[in-house]
Every structure is written in structure tokens, then in C-alpha cells.
């Protein structure tokens, strides 16, 4: 049972008061991006109003204040994900850039012809396309894990597929379509048995699950702040210090150097070696506020709330005739993401009709086109939940689905 006071939480999110076409907003598109509490919004304006200045490069008061606030977020992130040292936390623009950084700086040094990169069939394009490009360039091979009928990793198959040729395992912590929670620690141990490393895409995981990179036993962990109450434009790459130290820079220019001469340069130490140019200062500082907001709620409480609301959603959606729900049936085995299709109604039509009822969901392939082909569909409708969603909003989703059924001339709902 969740200990979150959801009604009190909702008071911190002014956008939830929005009325669209006379209907109160029901926001169920959190897997795409989450809303921001007033504490985060005010943090951004406070930076620009009170101490707008560049970091690392000035000795005047505002520059020192900005640097202290900015670097303080690195420590906040490290504590949130259980990192040993703050220098292992690299600021990027998003999850995608973090993965590309690893593919470029680590991959091009370490992946050789004939090596294998192991992925799951659930991967977001951001955790697939960079490895496709690397494999083509390095003459390596992509190998895909198998899923069970309810969308979980087939671990018996994984033990056969991860082997002596494996150089990297790259997997999502939680699927943005199936909701499946990946057994990362087991996969990490398999990878390490064969001297391979593992990268975890935590974009859907860390906003919803209490996460420790030490307990996951991963080598790289990446995520975006905009999916966990923070602003857009801020991502995190965490990596083991010894691996990051051995990697060359991803971009070159200011702040990532320790000295520059006409014919050569020396690189800065971690983490700044990977942070060229002026960073996204205001949004990084606000991201720290977002993490602190979640920490004050308690990630165990966040998870309990989502299990409760997801279980209710699975139950209510199961009342619809002709519905197909994808992923594990047990809410304890999945995150707060429910992808589904209703027979005879295209997911895009469904999304538009629900929008007319004030209910915001997502419809499409969710940047997982290979998975859609495996599911033998062009796309799905997807409802995704977060800390401010209520059981009543699930009922409003059901009411909107019944309206969609009428509009499309079906009798799907009992």
C-alpha cells in the first residue's frame, strides 16, 4: 500500500489544473515526459534572477554560487544512484547522448571485428541505433536476447547467448512498451563471467524504482531527468571510474582541457573531460531539486503507488472486449506503463478521441519499431503513470475508452 499523499502532491503541479476543451487534464503520458513541480520551476527562475553566471570560470560571487550549486547536483545524483564517487557522474543532454558517448568513446576503442553486442528486443531506438552503427563500423555482430510469452527476458536463453564473443550487453532497466523490469544484476553477472561489460538504459527505471548501480553491478548507467520531474535537456552518464579514465573525450573545446598549446592539448580530469563547453546550468541545478523531491517522497513509496495504480489499470482495462494488453500480467513484475490495442480501433484514432476527452496518452511505435514487428502490430496505445496519478484517473480513462468505442461504432466495453 502506498504512503504517498497524492492529493497533496498534485498541489505542487500547476499544469494538472489545466482544462482542455472543457475537460480537466488527465495526463497519462509520463513515460514520454513527466510534469514539473513548482519547486523545480522556481529553481530555474531563481538561477536567472539571482546568480546567472557561467560555472568553473570565474572568481566573482555569482560564478562561485553557480559553480557550487551546479557541482552540488553531481553529488545529489551520485547519492541517488549509489555511485561511489561524484567524478563518475557525467552531465549530458539526455539518455541518447549518454549512450552515444559510450558507443563512440568506449566502443571504438574496445569493440573488435567478430565481437558481439547483446541487446534485448525491447530496446528504445536510442539503445539500438548507436550499437547498429558501431557494429557496422567495427564489423561486430548484434545478438538479441529472447523474451517469454509475457514479455520477460528468457534467462535460460540468455545464458546461451552471452558468451566468449560478447563484448557488451546493453539493456533497458524497464521497457517503455511492455513495462517489463529487466533482471539487470543477473545479466551483469553473466556478462562479467565472460569479461564483457554491461550498459543499462535507466530512462524508464530510475524515475520509478529505487536504484543502486552497485547492486545492479553494471558498468555504465544512463538516464534523463525530464522523465523524473526535472527539466528537459539534462541527462546522466554514470560509469565506473577506471573505465571512464581509459576512454578518450567525446567532444573537444573549452572546459574539457587542462592545458592547451599550439600543437597539442591535455585533457581535464573526470568528470569534466567529457563536458566540453558551457553546460545547461539552470536545468542541471533544477534537476537536483527534482531528485530531492523524489527523495523526500521515498522511492519505495513511489514504487508502491505505481504498483497499486498499475494493478488497478490492468484490472479495469481487462474489462474491455477485444483488448490486447502487452507485457507481464502481474503489476509487481512491471513498471507503471500499460501498452494496449483495442480490436478495430487504430491506436492513433484512440489517442485522438481520448485527447478530446481530456485524457493524454501516447500512440505509436514508442521508438521501438523492432519490438512492434515482434508483436505483429504497427503500434499501440500507451498509458503511463506517475506519482500524481490517481485511481480516479484510471476510471476517467475507462470512460474515455467507452466514448471512443461509441465514436468508432464498436461495442467493445462491457
Whether 253 and 59 have beta carbons less than 8 Å apart is answered as no
Closest CA to 380 of 404, 411, 346: 346
The pLDDT, as a whole number, for residue 213 is 98
Give alpha helix (H) positions in 84-237: 95-101, 108-110, 129-138, 155-161, 184-193, 213-216
Domains for the chain: give ranges and CATH numbers: 6-30+299-407 (3.90.1150.10), 41-295 (3.40.640.10)
Known catalytic residues are: 367
Helix (H) or strand (E) holding 287: helix 281-297
**Cα distances (angstroms) measured from residue 14 to each of 26, 34, 38, 387:** 13, 13, 7, 14
Q: What is the mean pLDDT of each run of 10 residues along the chain (414 residues)?
A: 90 96 94 98 98 90 95 98 97 98 97 98 98 98 97 96 98 98 98 98 98 98 98 98 96 88 91 94 98 98 98 96 95 96 92 93 95 95 98 96 73 46
The pLDDT, as a whole number, for residue 404 is 75
The pLDDT, as a whole number, for residue 411 is 45
- DSSP-based three-state secondary structure for 110: helix
| Cell matching residue 28 | 497519462
Phi-psi region of 303 (alpha: psi -120 to 50; beta: other; left: phi over 0): alpha
Q: Within the chain, what is the greatest distance between any pair of CA atoms? A: 75
- DSSP-based three-state secondary structure for 380: strand
**Cα distances (angstroms) measured from residue 276 to each of 106, 134, 255, 256, 324:** 17, 23, 6, 5, 47
The pLDDT, as a whole number, for residue 1 is 63
Whether 196 and 253 have beta carbons less than 8 Å apart is answered as no
Amino acid at each position: 500500500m502506498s504512503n504517498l499523499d497524492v492529493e497533496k502532491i498534485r498541489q505542487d503541479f500547476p499544469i494538472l489544473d489545466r482544462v482542455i476543451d472543457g475537460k480537466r487534464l488527465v495526463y497519462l503520458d509520463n513515460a514520454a515526459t513527466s510534469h514539473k513541480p513548482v519547486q523545480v520551476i522556481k529553481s530555474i527562475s531563481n538561477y536567472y534572477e539571482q546568480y546567472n553566471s557561467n560555472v568553473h570560470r570565474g572568481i566573482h560571487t555569482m560564478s562561485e554560487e553557480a559553480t557550487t550549486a551546479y557541482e552540488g547536483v553531481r553529488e545529489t545524483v551520485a547519492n541517488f544512484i549509489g555511485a561511489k564517487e561524484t567524478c563518475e557522474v557525467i552531465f549530458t543532454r539526455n539518455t541518447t547522448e549518454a549512450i552515444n558517448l559510450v558507443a563512440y568513446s568506449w566502443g571504438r576503442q574496445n569493440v573488435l571485428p567478430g565481437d558481439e553486442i547483446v541487446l534485448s528486443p525491447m530496446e528504445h531506438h536510442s539503445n539500438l541505433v548507436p550499437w547498429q552503427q558501431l557494429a557496422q563500423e567495427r564489423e561486430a555482430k548484434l545478438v538479441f536476447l529472447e523474451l517469454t510469452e509475457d514479455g520477460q527476458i528468457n534467462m535460460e536463453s540468455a545464458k546461451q547467448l552471452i558468451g566468449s564473443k560478447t563484448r557488451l550487453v546493453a539493456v533497458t532497466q524497464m521497457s517503455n512498451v511492455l513495462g517489463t523490469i529487466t533482471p539487470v544484476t543477473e545479466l551483469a553477472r553473466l556478462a562479467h563471467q565472460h569479461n564483457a561489460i554491461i550498459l543499462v538504459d535507466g530512462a524508464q527505471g530510475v524515475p520509478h524504482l529505487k536504484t543502486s548501480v552497485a547492486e545492479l553491478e553494471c558498468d555504465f548507467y544512463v538516464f534523463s531527468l525530464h522523465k523524473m520531474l526535472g527539466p528537459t535537456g539534462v541527462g546522466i552518464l554514470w560509469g565506473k571510474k577506471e573505465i571512464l579514465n581509459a576512454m578518450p573525450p567525446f567532444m573537444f573545446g573549452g572546459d574539457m582541457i587542462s592545458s592547451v598549446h599550439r600543437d597539442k592539448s591535455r585533457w581535464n580530469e573526470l568528470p569534466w573531460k567529457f563536458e566540453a563547453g558551457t553546460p545547461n546550468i539552470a536545468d542541471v541545478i533544477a534537476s537536483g531539486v527534482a531528485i530531492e523531491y523524489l527523495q523526500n517522497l521515498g522511492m519505495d513509496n513511489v514504487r508502491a503507488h505505481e504498483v497499486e495504480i498499475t494493478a488497478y489499470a490492468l484490472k479495469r482495462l481487462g474489462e474491455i472486449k477485444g483488448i490486447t494488453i502487452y507485457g507481464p500480467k502481474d503489476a509487481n513484475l512491471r513498471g507503471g506503463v500499460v501498452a494496449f490495442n483495442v480490436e478495430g480501433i487504430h491506436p492513433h484514432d484512440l489517442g485522438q478521441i481520448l485527447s478530446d476527452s481530456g485524457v493524454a496518452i501516447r500512440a505509436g511505435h514508442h521508438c521501438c519499431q523492432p519490438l512492434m514487428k515482434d508483436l505483429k502490430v504497427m503500434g499501440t496505445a500507451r498509458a503511463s503513470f506517475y506519482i500524481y496519478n490517481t485511481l480516479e484517473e484510471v476510471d476517467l480513462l475507462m470512460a474515455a475508452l467507452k466514448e471512443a468505442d461509441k465514436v468508432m461504432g464498436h461495442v467493445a466495453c462491457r
